[in-house]
A = this chain, B = another copy of it.
Amino acid sequence: MDDTAGLAIALEEAQAGYNEGGIPIGAALVSKDGKLLGRGHNMRVQLGSPIHHGETSALYNSGRLPAKAYEGSTMYTTPSPCDMCTGACLLYGISRAVIGENKTFLSGEAYLKSRGVQVRVVDDPRCKALMDRFIEEKPELW
């Protein structure tokens, strides 16, 4: 799949998180040859978990994979990754990060680049609008 399709899955996940009353951040991990390895969304509210962010949930749902499965892979994520998810991408040697928007939150992009990860910011208004709506409705969760 291409970046548009990958980001669309991440956005579907973000919407699913919103619909569950959670933090609407979604992610999808796609292999070098364009296959979906895993998808997921932030589960902080749903699981009471501080470690199930969008990207880490996508990694969790991908299961245990051999190191080479991550080579050349792309992590699609609706906002810019936090420090933990930045580190998770680095740990597994994910090659690219495609980010829906970085206006709501900006943390690890420069560090990703400094460690050799390709970063593309799409600036997708749907990703921004979903976060804006959530922050307005539930400021206590953000």
Interface of A is mostly: helix
Contact partner of A48 (CB less than 8 A), chosen from B50, B63, B91, is B63
A92 partner residues in chain B, CB cutoff 8 A:
50
The distance in angstroms between the C-alpha atoms of A91 and B64, with both chains bound, is 24
Query: How many copies are assembled?
Result: 2
Chain A contacts with B in 20-76, Cβ cutoff 8 A: 44, 48-52, 56, 59-60, 62-65
Cα–Cα distance between A63 and B43 once the two chains are bound (Å): 12
**Interface residue range, chain A:** 20 to 34
Contact stretch, chosen from A8-16, A77-85, A96-104: A77-85
Q: Which residues of A contact B (CB under 8 A)?
A: 44, 48-52, 56, 59-60, 62-65, 82-88, 90-92, 108
